[in-house]
Chain A
Amino acid sequence: MAYATVVGIEIVYAIATLVLVSLGLAIVFGMMRVINLAHGEFLVMGGYSATIAFHHGVNFWIAIIFVPPVAVGLIGLVIERTIIRFLYGRMWETMLACWGLSLFLVGLMTMIFGGDTEGVPMRVPGIRIGAYQTSGYELFVIAFSMLLVGAVWVLLRLTRLGLLARATMQNTAMAEALGTNTDSVYALTFALGAGLAGLAGGIIAPLSGIVPTSGGSYIGQAFITVLGGGASALTGVTSASLLFGVVGQIATFASNAVLGSVALLAAAVILIRVLPDGITGRYFQGNL
């Protein structure tokens, strides 16, 4: 029984990390159709900002929850104003520019931080379940991801800013005609996506060390999840994370983490063959 609980927690945790890692990308890609290949680097920058804040004596929770989204959101804003805004509607160019940006950021972080692994020490004790020990932090990540999905839903569905953002993404010309400043809505939405990516990086920082190149290990998962999810940002990411998290984690239990990621890719390839528009292309249409 205790073992089943631990396995269950691990699976839910895998799902929660996928949601967390993919959410910012889902906003940027799902709403703005920007293929942000620099998403992994946004995560890493979030991790670094948490690390820096923590080592300057900022409280652990503030350093991982509040500093990263603000820092990376601001960086995202700058990037949107200087590069991305010239490329809206041109998916190929945006994708390539984002990839260049990704390499640029990896290089920049290597020059600033060097190749050593940095991290935030864990401040959450483990929890015993029967004869097994599970990480209290993993439970926090699970709860936090749920809260975050709820918060983003509220932001997009119930606030005026969310309404403007959804209207702008659906029909820019009409939104502009009705008096919306679509330019700043685009900038803010991109910053929101970047901030969410930074937040994910901050939350993950205590679990895994950060090196400038660690973005590469998140970007694949994040894109598979977002593509598998399809058009609706929130429903898509949640449903695809459920599917891929379960598949990947079971494969990981059966063999090892690397084969788990192979199983995840295989599942994604088959899913794309069956449902080319992702899960929300066929089911749960019209959701957020």
Chain B
Amino acid sequence: MTNSPFRFRDRIVPQIIPVVVGGALLFGLPQLLDLFTLLQVTLYAIMAILALSLGFIWGYGGILCLGQSAFFGLGAYAYAIAAINIGESTIPFALALLLPAALAAAFGYFMFYGRISGVYVGVMTLTLALILFNVVNSTAGPEYHIGKAPIGGYNGLPNVPGLNLPFDPQAQLDPVATYYLSGGLLLAVFFGLKWLLSTRFGRVVVAIRENERRVEFIGFDARLHKLAAFTIGGALAGLAGCLFCVWGNYTSPVIFSMIQSAQVIIWVMVGGVGTLLGPVLGAVALSWLTAEVGMQQLFDANLLFGAVLVVFVLFVPRGLLPMLTERVWIRLARSPPRAPLSHSVTASGGSA
């Protein structure tokens, strides 16, 4: 019955619409926007990848990582230092994924195989990011360098080479090409995660979020699945960090900072925990808002973000997207709302 209209409406259309919309946005925006705005959009796409990295491990894996900026920052620094040393971007790009993944795997091993529970994972990862921030921040002197690249400490690392076509240092990507790369990678990550979640691995990860003990009774190794999901999240955050570094040709310890980690949490929380589209929309909307808030001097950015986080935890704990889609379903309402994939991760993971 694969070609029945029912199947088409319910199964195929929801698959096609995001592809069409994503593709249209990717190729349409450069025609509509001037270069400056396109640069901003590139940044939003990069931040959306970062948000997806957390949206995946938190919303689907139930692993609340409060220090996602550790992997984001490591990706940026790995790319910057390797690119300055090598003068070519192919290997640095790979390193920017592999090193954060390796850090996530190592740190995750201690956490998940130590069987520390949800909230402690949050605290440990937060501490990791804090300490990375302190370490990198304190390496300002010329004695701290890796190969040709000074680490730069709180001054950061300026003049990071941009991306080039693989193994061809002459073929540098211009801003428009960087936009296509970032936007394309965002789509790839989005649909890649969507696919991953439909596989057996993805389903086990979601099942662990719902009830870890029951999954283990059935015979799956929850620790290994969580470790794998956490490592994928680390690699994706590293990818975002690498692109971020390329975008500004610059990196500084600020990207390890608490406000950076907090922003990612807020994007995911506001957009919708347990969805993939929510983190993307949250990242884009709030990055745009941050740029606007940055212009005015009335309120401190920390103050606003803190207030947003408190308000959402108290009043909209599941995020805007699940809430709005549920409203729309009720409004359309011949059919009851389809249960969203996550019934508030926060509540189900509550008993720690």
Q: Which label, helix, strand, loop or mixed, suits the secondary structure of the A interface? A: helix
In the complex, the answer to whether A106 meets B306 with C-beta atoms within 8 Å is yes
With both chains docked as a complex, state the minimum distance between the C-beta of B57 and any C-beta of chain A, in angstroms: 14
Given A35-B119, A91-B118, A91-B352: A261 touches B308 (CB 8 Å cut-off): no
User: Which residues of A are found within 8 Å of B122, using beta-carbon distances?
Assistant: 35, 95
Tell me which of B66, B111, B303, B350 has the highest count of chain A C-beta atoms within 10 A of its own C-beta: B303
Contact pattern, B 331-352, Cβ under 8 Å of A = 1, otherwise 0: 0000000000000011101101
User: Which residues of A are found within 8 Å of B323, using beta-carbon distances?
Assistant: none
Given A35-B123, A93-B317, A103-B309: A261 touches B131 (CB 8 Å cut-off): yes
- Cβ contact of A96, chosen from B127, B135, B309, cutoff 8 A: B309
| Distance of A106 Cα from B303 Cα, bound (Å) | 7
Query: Would you list which residues of chain B between 288 and 332 have a CB under 8 Å from chain A?
Result: 299-311, 313-314, 317
| Distance of A148 Cα from B94 Cα, bound (Å) | 52
| Distance of A139 Cα from B311 Cα, bound (Å) | 44
User: Which residues of B are found within 8 Å of A217, using beta-carbon distances?
Assistant: 130, 134
User: Which residues of B are found within 8 Å of A97, using beta-carbon distances?
Assistant: 309-310, 313-314
Q: How many B residues touch the partner, as a band? A: 35 or more
- Cβ contact of B262, chosen from A103, A108, A272, cutoff 8 A: A103
In the complex, the answer to whether A276 meets B115 with C-beta atoms within 8 Å is yes
B191 CB–A CB distance under 8 Å: no
A107 CB–B CB distance under 8 Å: yes
With both chains docked as a complex, state the minimum distance between the C-beta of A20 and any C-beta of chain B, in angstroms: 19
Which residue of the partner chain B has the closest CB to A274? B114
B201 CB–A CB distance under 8 Å: no
| Distance of A95 Cα from B346 Cα, bound (Å) | 11
User: Which residues of A are found within 8 Å of B123, using beta-carbon distances?
Assistant: 35, 223, 227
Contact pattern, A 256-278, Cβ under 8 Å of B = 1, otherwise 0: 10110110010011101110100
A150 CB–B CB distance under 8 Å: no
In the complex, the answer to whether B313 meets A261 with C-beta atoms within 8 Å is no
B128 CB–A CB distance under 8 Å: yes
With both chains docked as a complex, state the minimum distance between the C-beta of A243 and any C-beta of chain B, in angstroms: 16
| Distance of A130 Cα from B183 Cα, bound (Å) | 67
B258 CB–A CB distance under 8 Å: yes
- Cβ contact of A83, chosen from B116, B300, B301, B310, cutoff 8 A: B310
A160 CB–B CB distance under 8 Å: no
User: Which residues of A are found within 8 Å of B113, using beta-carbon distances?
Assistant: 273
| Distance of A84 Cα from B41 Cα, bound (Å) | 38
In the complex, the answer to whether B262 meets A99 with C-beta atoms within 8 Å is yes
B205 CB–A CB distance under 8 Å: no
| Distance of A268 Cα from B111 Cα, bound (Å) | 11
User: Which residues of B are found within 8 Å of A276, using beta-carbon distances?
Assistant: 114-116
User: Which residues of B are found within 8 Å of A272, using beta-carbon distances?
Assistant: 110-111, 114, 116, 120, 124
B126 CB–A CB distance under 8 Å: yes
Which residue of the partner chain B has the closest CB to A271? B114
In the complex, the answer to whether A92 meets B138 with C-beta atoms within 8 Å is no
User: Which residues of A are found within 8 Å of B110, using beta-carbon distances?
Assistant: 269-270, 272-273
A102 CB–B CB distance under 8 Å: yes
Nearest 6 CB-CB pairings of A with B = A107-B303, A100-B309, A104-B306, A103-B306, A107-B302, A107-B300
Known: A272-B111, A273-B114. 20 other contacts (CB 8 A): A87-B313, A89-B350, A92-B118, A92-B350, A92-B352, A93-B317, A99-B66, A99-B262, A99-B265, A106-B300, A107-B301, A107-B304, A108-B303, A111-B299, A111-B300, A219-B130, A220-B130, A227-B123, A265-B131, A272-B124
22 intermolecular pairs with C-beta atoms under 8 Å apart: A87-B313, A87-B314, A89-B350, A91-B119, A92-B350, A93-B346, A96-B269, A99-B309, A100-B306, A100-B307, A100-B310, A100-B311, A103-B258, A103-B302, A104-B306, A106-B306, A110-B300, A111-B300, A258-B138, A265-B127, A273-B110, A273-B113
